[in-house]
Amino acid sequence: MLKIKLTSIMVEDQAKALAFYTDVLGFAKKHDIPVGEYRWITVVASPDELELSLEPNANPVAKPFQQGLFAQGIPATSFESTDLDADYARLRAKGVAFTKEPTVAGPVKIAVFSDTVGNLIQLHQLL
């Protein structure tokens, strides 16, 4: 059986992204390995969970794609919350800029924020 164990998100600045994803969102750093000019950085919600790689957007097609999604208001990814209202309040208190406040959208509640490194991120909670 196949499993998804790693996914990635493009970021404008890996150090700034690592600080935001750990200090603000509360993920834990799993890997931080120098790879030439850049680093192989992953964060996790818990030790055995899916890893999120914070990839530099240095690829010539990455930055325009990232900017296009952001300009259109399209989240690059979505994180599940078990209590979206509480997570929204916690993140707002830490200065996170939301572009969409918690909103019921059919069977889910969603909110969207900027991750400060070029992406919109959606939070979702199943209702």
pLDDT recorded at residue 49: 92
CA distance 97 to 30: 26
pLDDT recorded at residue 72: 98
Match domain 6-126 to its CATH number in 3.30.1490.190, 3.10.180.10, 3.40.50.720, 3.40.50.300: 3.10.180.10
What is the token pair recorded at 65?
């794609």
pLDDT recorded at residue 57: 95
Which of 114, 106, 111 is closest to 124 using CA atoms? 111
Which of 124, 117, 82 is closest to 100 using CA atoms? 124
| pLDDT averaged over 10-residue windows placed end to end, the chain, 127 residues | 95 98 98 97 95 96 96 98 98 98 98 98 98
Q: For the chain, what are the domain ranges?
A: 6-126
pLDDT recorded at residue 127: 97
70-108 burial, b if ≥16 CB within 10 A, otherwise e? Answer: beeeebbeeeebeebeebbeebeeeebebeeebeeeeeb
